[in-house]
Each structure stands twice: as structure tokens, then as C-alpha cells.
Structure 1
Amino acid sequence: MPQTPPTTDLTHRLVPSPAGRIHLVEQGTGPLVLLVHGFPESWYSWRHQLPALAAAGYRVAAVDVRGYGRSSRPGAVDAYRMRELVADNVAVVEALGEESAVVIGHDWGSSIAAHSALLRPEVFRAVGLLSVPYTPRGGPRPSEVFAGMGGDEEFYVSYFQEPGRAEAEIEPEVRGWLAGIYAALSADTMPGPDLPDPHFVTRGGTLRERFPAGRLPAWLSEGDLDVYAGEFERTGLSGGLNRYRNMDRDWEDLAEYDGAPITQPSLFVGGALDASTAWMGDAIKAYPSTLPGLVGSHILEDCGHWIQQERPEEVNRLLVDWLNSLPA
């Protein structure tokens, strides 16, 4: 099991942003690297990367995305659209006294990182994407696409759309739900191919019904789970879920970027057993046109979705090698 590194050298900060405030955890000195988590996670998802990147000569800042942890949680659903999250990232760079940064994201954080680089290339000089490939804006309205998936079952993104619906499933017993979703998408605990897919919900059912029970993945200790559960028990899940509820707004907001490539130096690392990698295989194949600055694309065998926590040493090595290859 990966050991949680010591946190004595970490600095917690609250910095101003369009959300109100962003909480971040910082370590090291040197060129700035911004780390952006996904759902349902927090800055803590980068606990293995903070000391490794700092030791390699970088100033590393892992944020709580708006709606999570100690960052502000605006009440309006449309406050979680992509342009707002990009503005938060820009504000963090400015608040830390820097003019530019490398941005690295995982899961939803991968999409936030990609759009930060796309919308503000003068601020974000390179972009690293973990688990979720970059897909340019285009095609039909996202809600229409997701509604057509699953046949008699409902895709989880559609299930998340109605405010309060997923919260009613999760919030009465946050710790157990988090343990379930982490296990469902981890290489060593995910359901086998002969079992129902945990990304879908039976009509009138819940996601929890398909989560594995009784065993945590190897990368997640009881103490780690306590950290995640403690934050979400305090904040609730609406802030994180509201990101899913803005996909159609983003589709409208970003119309001018239809099909746009990201030209800065980039990196992709995915897990071979992650549904995101499998379902979005065409997006990875399109990287020569969508990510013309791609430095490396890596698929880690026998790895699930929580890639930087499941395989921290490999991910750290890939990130450090890529960062060291970037122009000063």
C-alpha cells in the first residue's frame, strides 16, 4: 500500500478568487505547478505528488476546487460552469505572485486544466491530463448524448443532473458511499466484467447498489477515507455535483472554441482499466490534431481511475520527467 507522505512541510493558504476564496496546499520552490482534483476528491488526492514535485525543484499548489473543502461554495448551480473554474485557476496563479504556471488535472480536474490552457494560454504554459482525455467542444448537446446511453438504464452523468437527487443518495451515509465509488473504479476492487456496470443506474435505483462492499482498494487507508469523508460530511456534495450540471452551459459558453486544439506542451496518463480511457479511446487517437504539443501519452497497465493514488511512483516519475523537459 502506498504510504501517505508526511505533511509537515505543507503550507495551507486561502487566496481570493471570483468564487470568494480558494483553499490550496503548497510545497516547494521553483516554477509553479497547479494541481486540480476531480470528483469526489480534494487537494488531498495529490498528497503523493506534492512532496515528489517539490523535491524535483517545483513550487506545487494543490487546490480545493470551488465547491469543495475550504474553498467557497457558491449557491447557484451556474456558478460552477467551466469559465468560472478557469477564472479561479488564473486567480490562484496571480495570488501566488506568479505570471504563469503548468496546470495538471485529474478526472474533472483534467477537463478544468485543459480548458484553463485553452482559454488562457498566456497564463498556463503547459498542461498535464490524468485519466480523462482532452476532447474539443463539438457535437450534439451533452445532455442529449448522455440521455441516449444505457438503454433501459441511466448513465451516471444523467443521474447527477437533477439538483438534490444524487445528494439524497450520498449524504445520509457519506463515508460508505465514498468507499464504494473509490472501490468501484479501482483496479484491485472494481466489479468484474460479468457484474453490472457501476457507471449506470437502474431506473429508480441508486449508484450505491452496484458498488463493491466490504473492502477498500489498496491505495486507500482508513485514515485516507476519514480525510475525504470528513470534508464531504461538512460541505455536502452539491458543490462537486454542480460541475456535472453545467455541461450544457459549457457547450453553449464555449461555442467559439468548437474543435479547438490545445497547442502548449501537454502530457496524458491514463489507466488501462479505467472506463474513461476505454470509452474515450477515439479522443486519445485524435491527439495529433487536438494536442499538437503532446510530449507523451502513457497508459498504465492494471490501473484504474484514481491513477495518481493507485500508482503514485509511476505517475510521479512521468510528471517529473515531463516537467523537466519543458522550456524554462
Structure 2
Amino acid sequence: MPQSANTPSTPPASPAAPVPRPPAGPLPEAVHRTVEVPGGRIHLVEQGSGPLVLMVHGFPESWYSWRHQLPALAAAGYRAVAIDVRGYGRSSKPRDVAAYRMLAHVADNVAVVRALGEETAIIVGHDWGSPIAANTALLRPDVFTAVALLSVPYAPRGGIRPTEAFARLGGGGEFYINYFQEPGRAEAEIEPGVRDWIAGFYVVASGDAKQDAARPGSAQDHVAHFSVAPGGKLSDRFPEKLPLPLPWLAEADLDFYAGEFERTGLTGGLNRYRNVDRDWEDLAAWDGAPLRQPSLFIGGEHDAPTNWMADAIKAFPHTLPGLSASHILDGCGHWVQQERPEEVNRLLTDWLGSLPGTAA
């Protein structure tokens, strides 16, 4: 693709330096590294050899959200790499809110591929990682040959400023993405009790949240579940008693996530939300652009973004002309690859094996 003022250029390759494994780190066969990127450094975890598959997590997660996919993809003959997105874990955490714009994440992903000595990669994203992956493939099809999106369907840049569109949502309250816009506001809610807040957020968005056993399935219901009442907090929506551990989230898993955010804070992750309007301006040249590479979508029956973006899924024939398949997993919530690891691993490896020139 020809470069433009808004398209990240490819940075020079830099060596991928091994770094010490985090204390009591999982996945003993995996290798932890940091690589240089335009904005500083990206921490990554890799396992296996073969065609490169780059995995990008969402909020509030880390590379650890791909703990089930790393060994599975490695065993299937792929070089599986999961990053800590900038602002998370052991990756750089710029202070400037604008440093978390979409173009910066695209540049990070390109730099990771180059630093690992590769020319091309397949990219997989979940939650915020899904639009990061989609835009990375959109802007740099020369590097990213295929894209898999989990939970959040691809929706091209449209004609309405995002915060204006989100202001129309909320079910009588303030939609959580707008609630996250003001620096410091969500941090004041979360950081006094990081572990409890993260646990509540994971539970309320999961498919097996007990308070949602009879949850209605309309998009409006899912939107309302993530709105903030006037003068309230997002955590007011969390159940009073959390049904932990969940089948997919052990206490040790929660400890790992909480430990990362207790060390780093939540600002880096929240700053991604604070760039939605900036992204809309940056990506004006790609308004309505389809994503043409081979693609895959996996969502959950009870996944809020999958439900409230149902129209985006219906538009896939136009927006994802290279779509191989779209799967909605029965009973699954938002944390797709963690809640249903075996099913997601099978869908991913089957899809990867079908891609021209990338079969392991």
C-alpha cells in the first residue's frame, strides 16, 4: 500500500532481546522478550516455530489472555506471539494520551514483525485487540496477510464521530466508553481495589455470570448492562457476590492479571478509549474501506459487543469480502478465547491451515 501522512512507516529492525520471565510465570516452554518499537518497547511472549501469528489482547487483559492459544498454535506448527499492548504489562507506557492512537498501535505491530525477523504475519485480536488487528491489516496489507477477529466485529470508519454515537447509547445512563473518556475518572473508581474491580468486570461480561442466567439477549439489554447511572460507577453493575472461581478463570489467573495492573495502573489501557475520536480523524482516508484479506470472526452468544454490533456482522459480505467463516459460540460471553479455549483453538488452527502458503 502506498504510504500517506497517516500510515505508519516500517521502522528499522532491531534485535529481539530476551528478558527475565515474570516471577512464577506460566507456560514454561514460552520465551519472553522485549523489542524496540517507535514508541519505546513491546513485551511479547512467543512459542513454537513456523508462520508468524501475532495475537493482540484487549481491556483489561495482557498477553496472558492468550495462554491457551500459545501452546496450541505452537503445537500446530506456528510461531505464536502474544504481545502486551503499549500501556500494559512490561511494554512502554507513554504519558501522552495521544500516544495511544490507533496509528501508534499499527506501527507497534509492524515493528514487532520486523524485530522478529519476519516479513509478514497473520494477526489475531480480541476486544480492543480486534479493531487494532483489523486496522493494522487495513493499513498494512503488505505485512499482515490475514486477520482473525474475536468478540468485536469489523466496522469500517463511518460518518459519525464515535463519542457522539456512543452518547446515543447507554440505556438511560452513560455508555461505559464515554464514561472512560475523562482522564482520571475511571482510574479513581478502579485503582483503590484493582483485583475486585477486574474480577467484577470479568464476571459481568462472561457467559456464565450467574446473575445473567436469565439474561435477555437483545442488543439494548447488553448496552444497558455496560452503562453508568448518573452519579454512579460502572462497578454498580457488578454482582454483589462474585461467583469465583469461574470455570475459565482460576484464582491464580485473577492474581496474575491483578498483579500486572496493581503494578502498572489502568491509565495505559484506558487511554485506548480516549483516542476514539482521534482515530476517527486519523482514518478519514479509509472511510468505509473493506478489509480484503482472508478473515475469520468468532463471537459469543452472550458477548455484549457481538450483540450490540449485530449490524456490523450482517454487513460482513461487504466489509469483509475475504471472510472464511463467522462463528457465534453458544453460551459464550465476552472472553471468547479464555471461556472456550478448545473450541477457539480448533477454529483458529483449521482456519490457519486453510490459508494459502501458511499451512504448517
TM-score, length of structure 2 as denominator length:
0.88
- Taking the aligned partners of 2:179 and 2:120, their CA distance within structure 1 comes to 37
2:277 matched residue in structure 1: 248
- Taking the aligned partners of 2:26 and 2:48, their CA distance within structure 1 comes to 14
Cα distance change of structure 1 residues 204 and 94 upon mapping to structure 2, 3 Å threshold: same
In the TM superposition, residue 6 of structure 1 has moved relative to its aligned partner by 5.9
- Taking the aligned partners of 1:282 and 1:54, their CA distance within structure 2 comes to 35
Cα distance change of structure 1 residues 94 and 166 upon mapping to structure 2, 3 Å threshold: same
* SS of residue matched to 1:65: coil
1:279 matched residue in structure 2: 308
In the TM superposition, residue 19 of structure 1 has moved relative to its aligned partner by 1.9
* SS of residue matched to 2:274: helix
Matches within 5 A, 1:80-159: 80-150=100-170, 152-159=172-179
- Taking the aligned partners of 2:242 and 2:140, their CA distance within structure 1 comes to 44
2:266 matched residue in structure 1: 237
2:237 counterpart letter in structure 1? R
**1:176 and 2:204 equivalent?**
no
Percent identical residues = 70
* SS of residue matched to 2:125: strand
In the TM superposition, residue 170 of structure 1 has moved relative to its aligned partner by 0.2
Cα distance change of structure 1 residues 151 and 28 upon mapping to structure 2, 3 Å threshold: closer
What are the superposed Cα offsets for residues 286-319 of structure 1, whole Å, 9 maximum, x if unpaired?
1111000001110101000000000000000000
- Taking the aligned partners of 1:151 and 1:183, their CA distance within structure 2 comes to 20
What are the superposed Cα offsets for residues 110-160 of structure 1, whole Å, 9 maximum, x if unpaired?
000000000000000000000000000012101111112225311000100
Cα distance change of structure 1 residues 151 and 224 upon mapping to structure 2, 3 Å threshold: closer
- Taking the aligned partners of 2:336 and 2:354, their CA distance within structure 1 comes to 22
* SS of residue matched to 1:13: strand
In the TM superposition, residue 277 of structure 1 has moved relative to its aligned partner by 1.1
Q: Select 1:210's aligned residue among 220, 234, 237.
A: 237
* SS of residue matched to 2:275: helix
- Taking the aligned partners of 1:214 and 1:253, their CA distance within structure 2 comes to 40
Q: How many corresponding residue pairs?
A: 324
What are the superposed Cα offsets for residues 252-293 of structure 1, whole Å, 9 maximum, x if unpaired?
000000000011000000001111111111101111110000
What are the superposed Cα offsets for residues 227-273 of structure 1, whole Å, 9 maximum, x if unpaired?
00000000000000000000000000000000000110000000011
Do the aligned residues in 2 keep the contact of 1:198 with 1:211 (CA within 8 Å)?
no
- Taking the aligned partners of 1:263 and 1:148, their CA distance within structure 2 comes to 30
2:119 counterpart letter in structure 1? E
* SS of residue matched to 1:243: helix
Query: What RMSD, in angstroms, separates the aligned Cα atoms of the two structures?
Result: 1.4
Task: Point out where structure 2 has 5 or more consecutive residues left out of the alignment.
Answer: 1-24
In the TM superposition, residue 220 of structure 1 has moved relative to its aligned partner by 0.4
**1:310 and 2:339 equivalent?**
yes
TM-score, length of structure 1 as denominator length:
0.96
Do the aligned residues in 1 keep the contact of 2:152 with 2:305 (CA within 8 Å)?
yes
Do the aligned residues in 1 keep the contact of 2:203 with 2:242 (CA within 8 Å)?
no
2:292 counterpart letter in structure 1? T
- Taking the aligned partners of 2:145 and 2:251, their CA distance within structure 1 comes to 37
* SS of residue matched to 1:171: helix
- Taking the aligned partners of 2:270 and 2:210, their CA distance within structure 1 comes to 22
